[in-house]
Amino acid sequence: MTDAGAARKRPTGLGRGLSALLGEAGREEPIAPAGDRSTGVRFLAVSELEPHPEQPRRHFDEDALDELARSIEARGLIQPIVVRPHEGRYQIVAGERRWRAAQRAQLHQVPVIVREFDEAETLELALVENIQREDLNAIEEAEAYRKLIDRFGHSQEALGRIVHKSRSHIANLLRLLDLPAAVRTMVADTRLSMGHARALITAIDPEGLANQVVERGLSVRETERLAQGARPAASRAASVPRERDADVAALERQLGDILGLKVKIAYAKGTGSVTLGFSSLDQLDLICQRLTGERI
């Protein structure tokens, strides 16, 4: 069996959640002495850690890093970084942002949790950890889903269960990868939102329209109208729904993008209801946390 085939058939257990695989950072574990390379919790020199070369997160907000560094200076690094032994050093599996901020805070040592992961598990956990923590922009998240599908054979439904997102949310993000590179860059650096990008996917000249959207500061709905107006007349006639339905559909998409869940809006004569779909108790708990504003 090839390495790729073995990875596809390997039961990862990711559906149990990251805490089950990485260990709870808050639980008590023995602190290993310096120089001990056994697994467990310990303090390591910042210089002994290195990022994973395929870390899905490529854009680190400088202001956010400075804010985290100030917090670390004042309170220390509360949550350990998860690492694995790798070629005489330690490779970061989860927590590169904390490691970067610790460097800015001029820490010499940081707390880490050492776990033995193979290469496939390391990449898979790095992708899922970033997605679950909502640390990625829309393009980074889409690329992470694509890697999980291509390398590990996950279906969109299986991914939804692992990262607590709806299948439609994952499908919509994957469609963003069909956009030209220049438009994907605009989404990655937040000049365009995911809603803007989705409106441009079926446009004849998405890059040209994207430039107009940025220059004119158009809203998502204005972008949808702009993209629709750029289609051939026959295509517009076949695709234009009733005006009210279009507005409701746009709101459903926007809420679905924000929550990562299937959203259905029923509206008539000024009143209506909003229905949020979930496929597991974990996903229901996620909805409750988001609605109450609790940290996920």
Contact 102, 46 (CB under 8 A): yes
CA-CA-CA-CA torsion for 205, 207, 211, 216, nearest 10 degrees? 50
Contact 95, 133 (CB under 8 A): no
**Given 48, 50, 96, 134, the catalytic residue:** 96
Contact 46, 81 (CB under 8 A): no
Rounded distance, CA 223 to CA 195, Å? 9
Does 96 qualify as catalytic in the annotation? yes
Rounded distance, CA 180 to CA 201, Å? 9
Contact 283, 261 (CB under 8 A): yes
Neighbours of 51 (CB within 10 A): 14
Which residues belong to the active site?
A: 96
